[in-house]
């Protein structure tokens, strides 16, 4: 193959290059992004004719975000993109940077992405903290210690095929993130030798209520890996520990937990708060099964007859009562609707009782069963008023129908009586040509 002979190849390019190279091409100052990308891109032209690794960047590059923003190969790699002479085009004296090592990649990308003046010319609100944040993460710290297996920019964003982060085909689009992290974190062989409790983070997360909300319900407010871990930093902005991240979305639960006796009790046990009861990755739908019964998490620390165990039972009982009352009420309303009574107003009022139920479940985090009961009692009152209304409407309907049936029977009776009376008294007209009594 003609490409296999590097020296021969270079000779060909050299010969070709001599004729076309404008030697006056601007040399980029080392360390500074180019002011303006060159109109020509000899890098792309020549590389697209090469084989294997050397050509592979050129295929996807036209739809890479950098190409779409008008940047070229030379914007990242430097060199002279107006020359077809390989010795000019790829001359380190013209700022050419070949393939960066893994250790060099954050700074390679950061040359632009940490430069606010430069980035804001493209997008006035572009963030420029990625490298600084990355340096605080376990990935960034281990990389500086010489670990080449941790994630660098291109493991999460790809290279030569980088997309805007809000593009659904981007590897960091929320629904794609688990697979992107999983390329390493689910690979037993790759992660061998690290002191991690398990490698099931991705699998566990994909089993969670959060993943279902994100993928099945399309709820982009549900967290994926980086919502809890931060995209670049050790934690998301404003959160000091990953274990505290839940409260950024579930603020009410956090406030109640913070005011409950558990805050200090858990701290002295070294227990991590929310995660102690809900786990971190495989979070399941919550319910009374967490309070009482064989799956009770309260009973992992409390005895059934101590204060904690007792409160758990009381809270579960009052929540379950409201839950089943709401269910029965809904059944009554549906029955009435099937019978033809318009119950839409009552149905929408029932959502107020349901809000109380949701609030009661949140209030569990106060550990105060009287506060939970205050919510459930309020809900029960609303639900029973609505149920009463539904029953009344049904009863009215029944009475109306009974009345209707009675009057129908009465009218039928009158008609029949009349008919027989008329017939008996010979008032019926004889049909012409009909029977005669001979």
Of residues 101-130, which lie at the interface with ligand HEC (CB under 6 A)? 105-106, 108-113, 122-123, 126-127, 130
Of residues 143, 274, 292, 326, which one binds ligand HEC by CB under 6 A? 274
Burial class (CB in 10 A: 0-12, 13-18, 19+), 14: middle
Binds ligand HEC (CB under 6 A): choice among 330, 356, 365, 393 = 365
Burial of 219 (0-12, 13-18, 19+ CB in 10 A): exposed
Contact by Cβ (8 Å): 51, 1 = yes
Among 95, 134, 292, 393, binds ligand HEC (CB under 6 A): 134
Structure-token pair, residue 196: 């991690």
Pick the stretch among 288-296, 332-340, 393-401, 425-433 that binds ligand HEC (CB under 6 A).
Answer: 288-296
Residues 377-436 that bind ligand HEC (CB under 6 A): none
- Which segments of 222-306 does DSSP mark as H helices, in order? 225-229, 246-249, 251-259, 262-269, 274-278
Give the C-alpha separation, 139 to 193, whole Å.
15
C-beta closer to ligand HEC: residue 143 or 336: 143
The closest alpha carbon to 394, from 334, 349, 310, 435, belongs to 334
Closer of 276 and 335 to ligand HEC (Cβ) = 276
Site map 12..41 versus ligand HEC, x via CB under 6 A? -x-------------------x--------
CA distance 191 to 134: 20
CB 140 within 8 A of CB 186: no
Residues 291-320 that bind ligand HEC (CB under 6 A): 291, 297-298, 300-302, 307-308, 311-312, 319
- The torsion angles phi and psi of 129, rounded to 5 degrees, stand at -105, 10
Residue nearest to ligand HEC (CB): 98
Does position 287 interact with ligand HEC (CB under 6 A)? The reply is yes
Number of other residues whose CB lies within 10 A of the CB of residue 424: 9
Footprint on residues 48-87 left by ligand HEC (CB under 6 A): 50, 53-54, 57-58, 61, 65-66, 69, 71, 73-77, 79-81, 84, 86
**Length of the chain as a residue count:** 438
- Collapsed DSSP state (helix, strand, coil) of residue 409: helix
Identify residues 216-235 at the interface with ligand HEC (CB under 6 A). 219, 221-229, 231-232
By the rule CB under 6 A, 329 interacts with ligand HEC: no
For ligand HEC, the binding residues in 161-220 under the rule CB under 6 A are: 162, 164-165, 172, 177-178, 180-181, 183-185, 194-198, 201-202, 205, 209-210, 213, 219
CA distance 235 to 158: 22
- List the one residue from 11, 31, 51, 261 that touches ligand HEC (CB under 6 A): 261
């Amino acid at each position: 193959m003609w490409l296999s002979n590097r020296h021969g190849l270079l000779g060909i390019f050299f010969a070709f290059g001599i004729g076309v190279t404008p030697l006056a091409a601007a040399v980029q100052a080392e360390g500074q992004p180019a002011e303006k990308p060159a109109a020509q891109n000899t890098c792309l032209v020549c590389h697209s004719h090469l084989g294997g690794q050397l050509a592979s960047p050129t295929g996807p590059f036209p739809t890479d975000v950098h190409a779409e923003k008008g940047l070229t190969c030379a914007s990242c790699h430097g060199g002279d993109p107006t020359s077809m002479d390989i010795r000019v085009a790829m001359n380190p004296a013209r700022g050419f940077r070949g393939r960066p090592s893994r250790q060099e990649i954050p700074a390679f990308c950061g040359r632009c992405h940490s430069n606010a003046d430069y980035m804001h010319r493209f997008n006035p609100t572009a963030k420029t903290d990625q490298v600084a944040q990355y340096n605080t993460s376990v990935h960034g710290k281990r990389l500086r210690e010489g670990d080449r297996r941790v994630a660098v920019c291109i493991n999460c964003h790809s290279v030569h095929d980088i997309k805007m982060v809000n593009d659904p085909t981007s590897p960091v689009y929320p629904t794609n993130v688990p697979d992107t992290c999983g390329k390493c974190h689910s690979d037993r062989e790759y992660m061998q030798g690290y002191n991690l409790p398990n490698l099931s983070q991705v699998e566990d997360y994909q089993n969670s209520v959060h993943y279902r909300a994100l993928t099945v319900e399309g709820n982009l407010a549900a967290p994926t890996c980086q919502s809890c871990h931060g995209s670049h930093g050790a934690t998301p902005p404003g959160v000091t520990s990953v274990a505290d991240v839940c409260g950024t979305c579930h603020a009410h639960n956090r406030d109640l937990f913070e005011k409950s006796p558990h805050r200090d009790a858990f701290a002295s046990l070294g227990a991590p708060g929310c995660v102690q009861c809900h786990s971190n990755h495989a979070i399941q739908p919550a319910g009374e099964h967490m309070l009482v019964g064989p799956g009770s998490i309260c009973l992992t620390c409390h005895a059934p007859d101590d204060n904690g165990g007792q409160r758990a039972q009381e809270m579960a009982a009052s929540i379950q009562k409201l839950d089943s009352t709401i269910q029965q009420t809904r059944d009554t309303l549906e029955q009435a609707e099937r019978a033809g009574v318009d119950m839409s107003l009552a149905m929408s009022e029932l959502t107020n009782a349901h809000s109380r139920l949701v609030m009661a479940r949140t209030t569990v985090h106060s550990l105060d069963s009287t506060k939970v009961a205050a919510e459930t009692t309020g809900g029960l009152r609303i639900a029973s008023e609505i149920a009463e209304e539904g029953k009344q409407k049904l009863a009215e309907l029944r009475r109306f129908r009974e009345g209707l049936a009675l009057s129908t029977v009465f009218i039928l009776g009158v008609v029949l009586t009349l008919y027989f009376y008329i017939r008996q008294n010979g008032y019926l007209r004889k049909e012409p040509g009909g029977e005669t009594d001979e």
